Structure 1
Amino acid sequence: MDYLRDWPEPIVRVQSLSDSGAQTIPGRYIKPPSERPSGGTPAATGEDVSIPVIDLAMLDDDVGARDDGATVKAIADACRVWGFFQAVNHGVSPALMRRAREVWRGFFHLSMEEKQRYANSPKTYEGYGSRLGIERGAILDWGDYYFLHFLPLCLMSHHKWPAMPPTLRDTNDEYGVELTKLCRRLLKALSIGLGLQPNRLLQAFDEEGVCMRVNFYPKCPQPDLTLGLSAHSDPGGITVLLVDDHVTGLQVRRNDSWITVKPVPDAFIINVGDQIQVLSNATYRSVEHRVMVNAAAERLSMAFFYNPKSDIPIGPVAELVTAERPALYQPMTFDEYRLFIRKKGPRGKSQVESRRMA
């Protein structure tokens, strides 16, 4: 078997398991006690702690050319301390955000026959999927997803996007354009926050790799035994996450606790990925996060990934390497880096930590 061409076992759609009405989940989805939502280390916290909320109204396309210093500082501080923040007044229409959620929820409620037309493989993950990683016998997460590309244009094909609902492709196009603009502004702000020129991190990316994974977490009869997505840090550059306003599920690791993110209406949840940690020589930190599931409600999230070009080595930016702070990471292409994810699935921060210089 070609390990990146075929899944190691027959694929079972989690939505089908949920719709079956079973009161227990199969053993393949039961996490070890230390990884369950209420157990292990770090423990779930009861503290009323929230990730920062940042107003981006002053952050236009010409970042750094006007009085947006307070906004840039707030973004940089959040990415140093948390690796996460919620963004309001970000310039993307709330109506577009709602339409994007609606069309993708519509896709996941199509017949299984229609969805199966887009079944994916581990080689690219593009299409309709139900597992990450190809290890035989792995404990699986309670969620389905759809993965697709926007950039580079040689990878983007509307034929690989769902044809139904009828407005999905046009809505998805519009959404991708607006979020790519937002990510470019954020990357400029992160550059300035490092004391670099606004376009420096963009240059390090060389060309953009833009993709999205739409996650669908069906109702789960035993949510205390499983996770929608296991603990991980995002492997790419910047992630812009749109979630359901009315159902919580995302948790961020903070010291020895898991903090449940309380979504702000019409906000995006922004986090830096491992490539930004590497480029910034660990000034900015990607942070572990995970997703809980719910017995009473399904949940949809749209994770938009802004990544570097896949075949150029990514290492710490030269201007950030000094005698006092030498390079902390070995250069590696993003293609090499994400191969780990495609083989192993989500594994905390083990991949980025493995790249540290000896």
Structure 2
Amino acid sequence: MSSNPIKTAVIGVGLAGMVFHLPLLVALPDLFDVCVVVERNSQQEGGKARKFGINPKVVETVEQAILDPEIELVIIGTPNATHYPFAKAALAAGKHVLVDKPIVPTYEEALTLLDLARSKNLILYAFQNRRWDSDFLVVKKLIQDRTLGDLTEFESHFDRYRTSLRVHWHGSNTPGSGLLYDLGTHLIDQALVLFGKPQKITAFTQNILELGDVEDNFTILLHYLPDETKIYPITAILRSHFLSVRTPQFRYSVKGSKGTFTKEGVDIQEDQLKAYDIPPFDPNFGIEPADIHGVLEILQEDGSITKSRIPSERGSYVSLYRNVAAAIREGAPLDVKWEEASTVIQLIELAKQSVLEEKTMDVPV
């Protein structure tokens, strides 16, 4: 792949493009060549992307990027309501597509794009980067190794303290807006990776700050019933709030028959990418400080409980893009399947229905 980097266009140079996509792409020059960036009203050659030492062609419209015959991969990091039409147009033009989360506002749109990608034998990829969070990787390992025994409860928080909206459209009642589609997308996706699709879902939302027209906090309960793989029912509790005054933030509590794992503090990769002081290929990138490592408590045979700090794994958002390149060039399996990302949207729709009807909803098989 090193002799044939993928000709790439990045649509959107806001938070998604400048913090996540461009830094990660630039860190893999043997795999990706950022040729085109869509940036309206750019006043300089290369536009904002020049920050990363590259000089792509800057165009002002999505159509110019999509119809460029050189481009193989289109990355969409624009406002959520635009994801579906932009992805559909790119696929129709014969381009591979990566879409930032949430992939689209509706489950029906997600399935439509999947059918289109399959009909054209194109890669359609969801940017669920937090599967490579350092703390999530250690949680996943503890569960796979059955260190905690038979699980009974999983709690995952992703909180903020904000008294204003970062961008106005986040608070507007437009398709794909609100905290469920924002941070909820990450929490639901991680739960699906660990436990698969739940049998039932219950959700509660509020708009406490009234900064916009959508929810600014939520609690989602994913209900997993006992089966051949689970002795006990498991409840996955997913929460996010815009008025959380706590440092470090509470992140995980995983309870099992043999012990409990708790974790405070959030993966540091986003902050490192924002500062761009440590590039993603640096050995220190994605390494959590020891003071926010999780605590493992294990019940011993004599009834005592041992407590120890468990170092987090090294976070690796670049692994997602390495997989994208391998899928395009080598036909490798997708680490993030579009069907999984579609299920996230289906569960968000069911969560909203649960809030509206004030009841627990069955999840279709």
TM range (shorter): under 0.3
Q: TM-score, normalised by structure 2?
A: 0.25
More helix by share: 2
Larger Rg: 2
